[in-house]
Amino acid sequence: MNGMDRPGMDRPGKGRLLGLGVGPGDPELITLKALRLLKSAPVVGYFVAKAKANVGQGGNAFGIIEAHLEDSQQRLPLVYPVTTEKLEPPLTYEGVISDFYDTCAVQIAEHLDAGRDVAVICEGDPFFYGSYMYLHDRLAERYEAEVIPGVCSMLGSAAVLGVPLVYRNQSLSVLSGVLPEDELRERLRNAEAAVVMKLGRNFEKVRRVLQALGLHDRAHYVERATMANQRIVPLDEVEPMASPYFSMIVVPGEKWRG
pLDDT(136) > 80: yes
- The separation between the first and the last C-alpha atoms of the chain, rounded to the nearest angstrom, is 40
Q: Which amino acid is at 253?
A: G
Q: Is the peptide bond before 24 cis (omega within 30 degrees of 0)?
A: no
Q: Which residues contact residue 153 at a Cβ distance below 8 angstroms, ignoring those fewer than 6 apart?
A: 24, 25, 123, 124, 197, 225, 246, 248
pLDDT(17) > 80: yes
Mean pLDDT over 101-129 rounds to 97
Q: Which domains does the chain have, with CATH numbers?
A: 17-151 (3.40.1010.10), 154-251 (3.30.950.10)
Q: Which amino acid is at 109?
A: A
252 within 8 A of 157, measured Cβ to Cβ: no
Angle between helices 203-212 and 181-189 (to 10 degrees): 40
Q: Name the least confident of 10-24, 31-45, 162-176.
A: 10-24
Top pLDDT among 104 and 258 is at: 104
Mean pLDDT over 191-212 rounds to 96
pLDDT(208) > 80: yes
